[in-house]
A and B are shown apart, each in its own frame.
Chain A
Amino acid sequence: MTEPALVLNGATKRFGAFTAVDQLSFQVPAGSIIGFLGPNGAGKSTSLRMALGIMTPDEGSVSLFGAHPDLSALRRVGFLPEERGLYKKMTARQTVAYFARLKGLSARDANRRADELLESTGLGEFARAKISKLSKGMAQKVQILSTLAHTPDFLILDEPFSGLDPVNQQALEEIIREQHAAGATILFSTHVMEHAERLCQSIVMMARGRKVFDGTLDAAFDALGRRAKIAVEAGYDLPTALATTGFHVERDSHEHEDGADWWLVSLPDGRSAQNALRAAIDAGAPIAGFMQEEARLRDVFVELVEREEARGKLAPQPELETL
């Protein structure tokens, strides 16, 4: 069996009294593409920095290609940090080649690879331009190329889409797919769930330093369950009306409409959204609207966080300090 590219086992990181990452465990199987999801401040970057050996966990362990994340293991890794920056006085070519050399390539190979990558991404004519002279988008592209220059087996990308315009986001998604197709393992963090929906096979979700989900996308949607949305005249008690029909009904706090209340109706196995609507009509409910819910990853995330909160497994949301 192929060894996982990354294993975090009970990894915990504290900064004084604040626990940034709490007992985090998950694996990144070789050849997989995994989204590491969570809102800002969830502990994603700290977890990735532990995975890369930049920070040492206070508890638990990290294993990269079956070993401690030292430089020999890190040579197989390409890392794109969330906070990006390059040496402004170096040229694009020097930058890509420099980071490739730091990862072990010879000077000749590093320069050749830099030329190849810059040409293939349309930056060939800017190869000898200083980073300070490039646009922000081009500089970000150079940084991404620096991450890829040594042909890593494992790409760790921390919020790779942030700061990119839609065209460049699309281009980056293509690069990620190409690298994955070429055999690279990919772990990327994001707080924008749509990227993960398009790219990932599996996801790890974090909130307030703790893992709230770890599994395939399908399993994530299954966790949410199939639901229908029914709107009735304001004040009508739909849960009582459907109490004997076998449908579980709860208030939809996300939908608001004047004169109507929206309800989420969970669909048990073998019963459809249409069955739920029929049951409501039969019960005499004054129907004002109906929709079959199309589940999104962010809904899954919200649901999972609420469940974890209900179980008391998540620390309360810290309040903003009053200035």
Chain B
Amino acid sequence: MFRSIYLVARRDYLGYVTAWGFWLGLLITPVLLGVGMMVPALAASSVPVRYFTVVDAQGDFHAALVQEMADRRERIARNVVDGAGMLLGDDADRGAALERFDAAIEAGESPAAAMEIAAPHLPDLQLPEQDFVLVDPPAQTLDDLRPYLVGERFLETESGPRPLFAALLVSEEGVEYWSENVTVDGIKSLARRAASDMARNEVFGAAGVSIGILDEIEAATPGLVEKRLREEAGSDSEVTLADRAPFIVSIAMSFFLWTLIFSVVNYLLMGTIEERSNKIFDTLLTSVKLPHMLAGKLIAVLAVSLTLMSVWTLGGMGVTALGISAMPGELRELVGAMAAAALDPGILIPALISFLLGYLMYGSIFLALGSLCDTIQEAQTLMTPLLILLMVPLFVAIVAMTDPESPVLSVLSWVPLFTPFLMILRMPTEPPLWEVLAQLGLMVAFTVAILWLAARIYRAGAVHGAGVNDAMGYLKRTVSFGRA
């Protein structure tokens, strides 16, 4: 028995891993993942400089806007210094750098100069280029500005002719924002803050109160320290990264399992369709029992997924090990907290069980579907509703990011098809043990039932040549029998 299972598994496994597509996927997935993570930063750095203007006869709004833009530059510069301090120094260095920055700004230095003073050991630290540039109005009325806004005329800038992105027209009724682009909010946001500051100044001035009182209020506001109860007496109760790491790790694991399962179960689908269309079942069935054939196929693809997981995990560990000595304290702490959370048996064991059962459940479903189909197109007709259903755990995972104790999550985790992905999301909230065991038991029972049903469908497809229409007919008969 084990020999035939081994031989089927070995053949299928070698068939998969010797295909160039496997190696391409193995190498390209982490690359794509990395690129995906860099996309937001790349998108931010590739945003073009946008020019806008203000037509303000009074000049108050213009002045408030200029001030708001200067404050914004200051905040950006301070964040850069803070971020560099976090990544490249310890807490003391980071604090000292911020103090130097604040003192330089207080002394009237520009944000760029304050950055140099704050971090003299980081000469490459750059203040990002301004994404919005305020220019003098090329015309004073909307009609005259229109050709600039629609791109018929251009502004003369140091970088050459540029289109006018937006114009703010100030009147007694308020401020009008004119632009052909309705999605970019940056200038609108600046304008709102400037208008708000202006109004605040007026109201505070009328009340005889200095605007500086706001800074005093902020300075006097007591800080909020987040704490949680701990079982260990005397331990620090302040919430740290280690407390948040399990939630982050569980979401990452859930996504990882979903992606892994659905990338490898496709192998089963394609492999079975190939065998059916190649008319190979009869030859195999005189040498191997059908359940052994199923077991061999499932084991082969499980081995493929373990290969992928091992290579990626070892690769990730290798890269981390190489880079950990060069990592700054906080980043090292972050990596340590994530690794500790991932290796916590409370998360790791349910994750492994979920992966195994989830794989068996979906693997056998895909295997059964494949045995009914002669072509990929046929398979797609059966797969589409299933794939739509399987998007549900992804949406629920998004809910779990903000509220891991959401009732939606706890209710849907009882649905065996979703349990493999949703149970992991719940583990950091430490659900009652009976609930975890009951969900695991339900998942085991459902997996066994699915395996039994899949074996029957597989037999119908492989031995009797049943097709999609036969399966649909069987389903209809079952439904009408149920109604009768």
Co-assembled chains A and B = yes
Which chain B positions have C-beta within 8 A of A204? none
**Known pairs A87-B15, A89-B15, A89-B19; A99 contacts B279 (CB<8 A):** no
Looking at the complex, which one of B278, B280, B282 makes contact with A49 (CB distance below 8 Å)?
Answer: B282
Closest CB-CB distance, A108 to chain B, in whole Å? 15
Binds B, one of A75-83, A275-283, A293-301: A75-83
Query: What 1/0 flags go to A260-272 for Cβ under 8 Å of B?
Result: 0000000000000
Q: A89 to B19, alpha carbons, bound, how many Å?
A: 9
Contact B7 A98 (CB under 8 A): yes
Candidates A55, A89, A101, A146; contact of B283 at CB < 8 Å: A146
**Chain B 242-285: CB-based contact to A (< 8 A → 1; otherwise 0):** 00000000000000000000000000000000110111101111
A-B CB contact pairs (8 Å), 22 listed: A49-B282, A52-B285, A54-B285, A55-B464, A71-B4, A71-B288, A74-B286, A74-B287, A79-B283, A81-B282, A83-B279, A87-B274, A87-B280, A89-B19, A99-B287, A101-B7, A102-B284, A102-B287, A102-B288, A103-B287, A143-B283, A146-B283
Whether B289 is near chain A, meaning CB under 8 Å from some CB there, is: yes
Contact partners of A103 in chain B: CB under 8 A? 287
Q: Are B279 and A85 in contact (CB under 8 A)?
A: yes
- Taken residue by residue from 104 to 143, chain A's Cβ proximity to chain B (1 for < 8 Å, 0 otherwise) reads as 0000000000000000000000000000000000000001
Is there a chain A Cβ closer than 8 Å to B200's Cβ?
A: no
Q: A89-B19, A98-B7, A102-B4 known; A71 and B279 CB under 8 Å?
A: no
Distance A52 CA – B286 CA, assembled complex (angstroms): 7
State the CA gap A60–B19 with chains docked (Å): 46
A14 touches B (CB below 8 Å):
no
Closest residue of chain A to B277 (Cβ to Cβ) is A85
Most B CB atoms within 10 A — which of A55, A71, A84, A98?
A71
A163 to chain B, nearest CB (A): 12
Chain B residues with CB under 8 Å of A81's CB are 279, 282-283
Of all chain B residues, the one with the shortest Cβ separation from A89 is B15
Q: Please, how many angstroms separate the alpha-carbon atoms of A88 and B270 in the complex? A: 13
Cα of A103 to Cα of B285 in the assembled complex, Å: 11
Shortest distance from the beta carbon of B455 to any chain A beta carbon, whole Å: 15
Partner of A98, one of B11, B278, B289: B11
Task: Tell me which of A79, A85, A143 contacts B286 (CB under 8 A).
Answer: A79
Q: Please measure, in the bound complex, the distance between the C-alpha atom of A88 and the C-alpha atom of B277, giving whole angstroms.
A: 11
A175 sits at the interface (CB 8 A): no
Please give, as numbers and ranges, the residues of chain A lying within 8 Å of B463 by CB-CB distance. Answer: 49, 54-55
* Measured CA separation A48–B363 after assembly (Å): 32
Nearest 7 A-B pairs (CB), nearest first? A85-B278, A83-B279, A85-B279, A102-B287, A81-B282, A79-B286, A85-B280
CB distance from A116 to the nearest CB of B (A): 20
Given the interface pairs A86-B278, A101-B7, the reply to whether A71 lies near B287 with Cβ below 8 Å is yes
Chain B positions within 8 Å of A79 at CB level:
282-283, 286
Q: Report which A residues bind B (CB closer than 8 A).
A: 15, 49, 52-55, 71, 74, 77, 79, 81, 83-90, 98-99, 101-103, 143, 146
Residues of A within 8 A of B287 (CB): 71, 74, 99, 102-103
Which chain B residues in 148-174 approach chain A with CB under 8 Å? none
Contacts of B7 in A (CB 8 A): 98, 101-102
Contacts of B286 in A (CB 8 A): 52-54, 74, 77, 79
Give the residue of A55, A87, A146 whose beta carbon is less than 8 angstroms from that of B278.
A87
Q: Which residues of A contact B280 (CB under 8 A)?
A: 85-87
Residues from chain B with Cβ under 8 Å of A85 in the complex: 275, 277-280, 283
A52 to B282, CA, bound (A): 10
Residues of B within 8 A of A98 (CB): 7, 11
Count, chain B residues at interface, CB 8 A: 21
- Cβ of B277: which chain A residues have Cβ within 8 Å of it? 85
18 further A-B pairs in the complex, CB-CB below 8 A; given A85-B275, A85-B279, A101-B7 = A49-B463, A54-B285, A54-B286, A55-B463, A71-B287, A71-B289, A77-B286, A81-B279, A81-B283, A83-B279, A83-B282, A85-B283, A87-B278, A87-B280, A88-B274, A90-B11, A99-B287, A146-B283
Most buried by A among B277, B278, B286: B286
In the complex, residue of chain B having the shortest beta-carbon distance to the beta carbon of A15? B464
Closest to A49 in B: B282
Which residues of the other chain, B, contact A89 by a CB distance below 8 angstroms?
A: 15, 19
- Closest chain-A Cβ to B2's Cβ sits at a distance in Å of 13
Among B7, B277, B282, the most chain A Cβ lie within 10 Å of the Cβ of: B282
Q: Collect the chain A residues with CB atoms within 8 Å of residue B283's CB.
A: 79, 81, 85, 99, 143, 146
Q: State A102–B287 Cα separation when bound (angstroms).
A: 6
With A and B bound together, what is the CA distance between A15 and B15 in angstroms?
35
Residues of B within 8 A of A101 (CB): 7
Q: In the bound complex, how far is the Cα of B464 from the Cα of A98, in angstroms?
A: 24
From residue A41, how far is it (CB to closest CB) to chain B in Å? Answer: 14
CB distance from B465 to the nearest CB of A (A): 9
What is the CB-to-nearest-CB distance from A74 to chain B, in angstroms, rounded to a whole number? 5
Residues of B within 8 Å of A71, CB to CB, are 4, 287-289
User: 1/0 contact trace for B434-471 toward A, CB 8 Å?
Assistant: 00000000000000000000000000000110000000
- Interface contact B288-A84, CB-CB below 8 Å: no
CA distance A77 to B7 in the complex (A): 19
Residue of B nearest to A131 (CB): B278
- Least Cβ–Cβ distance between A87 and chain B, in angstroms: 7
Q: How far, in angstroms, from A79 to B280 measured CA to CA in the complex?
A: 12
Measured CB to CB, the nearest residue on chain A to B6 is A101
Q: Which of B15, B274, B285, B287 has the most CB of A within 10 A?
A: B287
Determine the chain B residues whose CB is within 8 A of the CB of A55 once the complex forms. Answer: 463-464
Residues from 408 to 432 in B contacting A, C-beta threshold 8 Å: none
Complex: A77 Cα to B286 Cα, angstroms = 8
Chain A residues in 8 Å Cβ range of B274 = 87-88
Q: Whole-angstrom distance from the CB of B275 to the nearest CB of chain A?
A: 8
Closest to A94 in B: B11
Give chain B nearest CB distance to A44 CB in angstroms.
14
User: A81–B278 Cα gap in the complex (Å)?
Assistant: 12
Residues from chain A with a CB closer than 8 A to the CB of B19 are: 89
A102 to B286, alpha carbons, bound, how many Å? 9
Please give, as numbers and ranges, the residues of chain B lying within 8 Å of A90 by CB-CB distance. Answer: 11, 15
Alpha-carbon gap, A103 to B288, bound state (A): 9
Output the least CB separation between B474 and chain A (Å): 12
Which chain B residue has the least Cβ–Cβ distance from A77? B286
List of A residues within 8 angstroms of B284 by Cβ: 102
Bound complex: CA A103 to CA B287 (Å): 6
- Complex-state Cα separation, A49 to B289, whole angstroms: 14
Give CA–CA (A101, B7) in the complex, Å.
Answer: 8
Residues of A within 8 A of B289 (CB): 71
Per the bound structure, the CA–CA distance linking A102 and B5 in Å amounts to: 10
Chain B nearest CB from A273 CB (Å) reads 47
> In the docked arrangement, what's the CA distance between A84 and B15, Å?
20
A71 to B5, CA, bound (A): 13
Please, which residue of chain B has its CB at the minimum distance from the CB of A74? B286
Most central of A49, A77, A102 by chain B CB within 10 Å: A102
Q: Which residues of A contact B278 (CB under 8 A)?
A: 85-88
Q: Which residues of B contact A143 (CB under 8 A)?
A: 283
Closest Cβ of chain B to A209, distance in Å, is: 17
Are A54 and B15 interface neighbours, CB within 8 A? no
